[in-house]
Chains A and B, each alone.
Chain A
Amino acid sequence: MFSKVFIESEIKNHPQTKKILERFSQAPVSEIERIDDVFGRVKKPYLQKRDSLQLFLGKKRGNLVKVAPDAYGLAGEPHYYFIHAYNCIYECEYCYLQGYFHSPDIVLFLNHDEIIHEMKVIAASHPDTKVWFHAGEFSDSLALTHLTGELELYHQFIAETPNAVIELRTKSVNTAELEKLSPHPRLITSFSLSPKERAKKTDLKTPPLETRLKAMNKLEKLGHPMGIHLDPIIHEDSFEETYLQLFQQITQYISPNSIDYLSMGVVRFTSNVFHQVKRNYPQSELLAAEFATSFDGKVRYPRPFRLWLLGKIKDMALSHGFSEKQIYQCME
């Protein structure tokens, strides 16, 4: 999986480092002072993740928890995201990570104790309200948890911090570590879903839709709270049929009542990411669409199309048993 592993000297004796290295015993290992000595030092094209993906293990320094952008989650409560990894093993054609780090290599930070400490400080600064902490802003929250082993620590944090909520955003089906934990109403796993054929075309290397739904079904049976992100919504000529089919499949595997929220977001890019998409996926069907620069400078479908798409999906959600209260629009 990894062509090379780089480890910071400071964490070379960390128990998790040893476990991860055992797992990738075939990959050559280099010890480095700081991740930044190599990661991001040169501009490494995104698609090199296909055949020369490297792994970096180290400590996150600087801001460990950051304020989330507006309209990131349910309105009315403060939202933050915490950073325990950079980059993702999947390859979604629209992914904003392709314009973000100047490198597609995977970085795993192992100082979860420090990240959790900062989350505790933030939660304490909002004593009268629920505080959301999102994982998965710069990586998939579950995809590598069998290697990184941090879920238990965050589960414990939730149990000890009554006003904190954690959202684990994922496209993976790697729920094994989560299944070992007792369900907690404030540890929510949210799955990003797209119609089957769409995911096959654009969400490269991600598990198929049905496998994701089966994973959700398993978590539902175990009583773990869940969310659904229909994001990004991508238009195609057969959009209505494919999303109708998606809702039928969702309700075949899970009950809308067991879903905490359903968010919808139409595909969008910063101009830099859009440039990267054109460069990395010049043959992508995504690029056949008409895009315009929108109210916030992001590249999106023209407003009538976006609102048409969101309206259609909301109608479908309502007619498949979701309630108005569960649905919100993301980044719109």
Chain B
Amino acid sequence: MHTTPLLIFAHRGEARAFFGHYQLTSLPEASDLYHYQGKSEGDSFYLLLTGEGHFNALSATSAALSFLKASNSELKIEAINLGICGALDEHFQVGQALFIRTLYSEGLHQGMEFKSFNTKTIDNKDSSFPFVDLVSSHHRVLEQDKKQKLSAFAPLVDREAWAIGFTCHKQGVPLTVIKLVSDHAEGEICIPVKEEAELWSDKLLRQYLSLKETPSKAQVIVKTIDSLKEKFPDLHITVAQERSLISLFNALSLKNISNEMALKSFEESGVLELDLRPKDKTKKLIEALSHQLSPLSQKLKSALTEVSEPLSLNGFNVRFDQDYEKAIIHLSTTLQNKSDINKLITGLENFSYENFLSLLNGDIDHV
């Protein structure tokens, strides 16, 4: 399902370009929350103005997320905090746009908050965005001492991001943070912020638009499954099977087997032409992908099936320990007449426990 962005700003000035670029409507039921209804589902978003500081950010984000979830339980939100920050390190230039990696916070009374929050950006390994850390302070950083203390933990400082990260973490909402350096935390920052607000807000808008254009790996996999359904209408994919397919495509990509390569061998296997139920054809697809992922695992499964064949052919349902950690075998059966007993005895007599044990002890090649 598509995710809808919730853009979070502390100040209206930071969001000015967004109000200019998009026709945002205020939601009367929630304060400082706005909605943009795009032409398609993928273009729509919400925008929130929190006010300055930890507590404003915490309460406003929490209220907005709760309101949005309550108004539409199907809605999948992704938060994006945009705004300005101070640099505690001279290397950063005023006006520089940065994607934040980890959020730290000053403690309420002293020291630091132990908890830190990673933004979604940290997981995007294909991203060429620079990663920088940020510490949220309870007060504006005007003294050298405080600047020194906070710089041990991160080179950027703001007032809200950690609180937004905290709320998003609690509510299971992924968060991206984009910050623009407004100053070097060396004095009163309000005047330059006001003067440059239009320019910086415009830069934030540009960063947001570039972010929208980068598809994630998960989106690519979901697209593959959608195209799979279109290409092979014969397949019926249940929810559980879809989950397996996503995880298989993901794992195969780690072995540098692309979705296309993985599917090619399935298409060539002729399974699609077999007289099978649509759901069973999907099962075959999952088996084929599993085989490509782990030939050794498939070898073990085939060997276990072979070793236990005397049991399964003679009336036993055979189940092995999950993950094969214990060398045990679970047997169940149904007796309907006396000849069943003889069959079961034959099955047990022909079953080689030694071969089963050898397999579990790693002798996969010889059994």
Contacts and interface: CB of A to CB of B under 8 A. Distances in A.
A51 B295 CA distance: 38
B367 to A, nearest CB: 10
Interface in A281-305: 282-285, 287-290, 292-295, 302-305
B196 interface: no
Interface string B118-148: 1000110100000101000000000000001
A42 B125 contact: no
A42 B360 contact: no
A269 to B, nearest CB: 15
Interface string B222-238: 00000000000000000
B362 A310 contact: yes
B113 to A, nearest CB: 7
B297 interface: yes
A132 B65 CA distance: 56
A303 B254 contact: no
A234 to B, nearest CB: 13
Interface string B150-167: 001101000000000000
Contact of B325 (A235, A284, A303): A303
A-B pairs with the 10 shortest C-beta distances?
A: A307-B362, A292-B323, A308-B362, A288-B254, A288-B251, A43-B116, A302-B324, A288-B255, A42-B112, A302-B323
B254 A308 contact: no
B6 to A, nearest CB: 23
B364 A45 contact: no
B252 A309 contact: no
A74 interface: no
Contact of A41 (B102, B111, B296): B111
A31 B82 CA distance: 35
26 contacts: A38-B152, A41-B111, A41-B114, A41-B153, A42-B112, A42-B113, A42-B114, A42-B115, A42-B153, A43-B115, A43-B116, A44-B153, A45-B101, A48-B133, A52-B155, A283-B125, A284-B254, A287-B254, A288-B255, A288-B293, A293-B325, A302-B297, A302-B300, A302-B324, A308-B363, A311-B363
A155 interface: no
B102 A279 contact: no
A304 B112 contact: no
B325 A311 contact: no
Interface residues of B, number: 41
A30 to B, nearest CB: 7
A284 B123 CA distance: 12
A4 interface: yes
B152 A48 contact: no
Contact of A6 (B102, B152, B294): B152
A48 B101 contact: yes
A6 B152 CA distance: 9
A48 B255 contact: no
Contacts, number: 102
B361 A307 contact: yes
A237 interface: yes
Nearest to B131: A51
Interface of A: 4, 6, 30, 38, 41-45, 47-48, 51-52, 102, 235, 237, 279, 282-285, 287-290, 292-295, 302-311
Nearest to B111: A41
Given A282-B123, A288-B255, 14 more contacts: A6-B152, A30-B152, A41-B112, A44-B102, A44-B153, A45-B102, A48-B133, A285-B254, A292-B322, A302-B324, A302-B325, A304-B360, A307-B362, A311-B363
Q: Which residue among B255, B323, B361 has the maximum number of chain A CB atoms within 10 Å of its CB?
A: B323
B296 A282 contact: no
B146 to A, nearest CB: 14
Contacts of B324: 292, 302-304
Contacts of A284: 254
B252 A288 contact: yes
A304 B116 contact: no
Contacts of B359: 304
B104 interface: yes
Nearest to A239: B296
Given A6-B152, A45-B118, A52-B133, A290 B297 contact: yes
B157 to A, nearest CB: 14
B251 A287 contact: yes
Contacts of B363: 308, 311
B361 A294 contact: no
A200 to B, nearest CB: 14
A294 B362 CA distance: 15
B362 A305 contact: yes
Contacts of B322: 292
A308 B364 contact: yes
A302 B122 CA distance: 31
A296 to B, nearest CB: 10
